[in-house]
Amino acid sequence: MSDTLGFVSFALVLILTGVGLCQDPVTAGQDNRNVLTAKSNSFDECGVANSLIDDTNNSLLDYGEETEPNEFPYGRRIYCSRQYRRSCAGGLIDDRWILTISSCASKDSTVIKVVLGAHDLSAKTEDNRQVFNVLDVFSYDDQGNQITLLRLSSVVTYTKYIRPVCLPSWDDPDFANETVVVTGWTPSDESVLLKETAQVKPVCFSESYNNHSICTRPLDNNAGDPMNFQMPDGRWKQIGLYSGTVSAFGSTSSAYTRISFYSSWIRDTIAAHPSNSAAASSVNTTTSIAVLMSFLLLFISLN
CATH fold for domain 42-272: Thrombin, subunit H (2.40.10)
Residue 249's alpha-carbon distances to 144, 204, 209, 246, in angstroms, are: 22, 11, 14, 10
Report phi then psi at 47, rounded to 5. 70, 15
37 by DSSP, 3-state: which? coil
Rounded to whole angstroms, how far apart are CA atoms 78 and 72? 16
DSSP state of 175: -
Burial class (CB in 10 A: 0-12, 13-18, 19+), 294: exposed
DSSP state of 127: T
Domain locations in the chain? 2-30+289-302, 42-272
Per-residue pLDDT of the chain (303 residues; tens, 9 = 90+): 545 444 434 343 333 333 333 333 222 223 333 333 334 347 888 888 876 444 433 444 445 677 777 677 766 677 765 445 567 888 899 999 999 988 877 666 656 888 888 777 767 777 778 888 888 999 886 656 578 999 999 999 898 888 899 999 988 989 999 999 988 777 665 677 788 889 999 988 776 777 888 999 988 777 888 999 999 998 999 999 998 888 877 788 899 999 999 999 999 999 999 875 444 333 343 334 444 455 555 555 666
pTM: 0.70
Rounded to whole angstroms, how far apart are CA atoms 183 and 65? 10
Pick from 60, 72, 69, 64: nearest CA to 186: 64
Please name the residues in contact with 62: beta carbons below 8 A apart, sequence gap of 6 or more: 196
CB 116 within 8 A of CB 152: no
Work out the end-to-end distance of the chain between its first and last CA atoms, rounded to an integer number of angstroms: 8
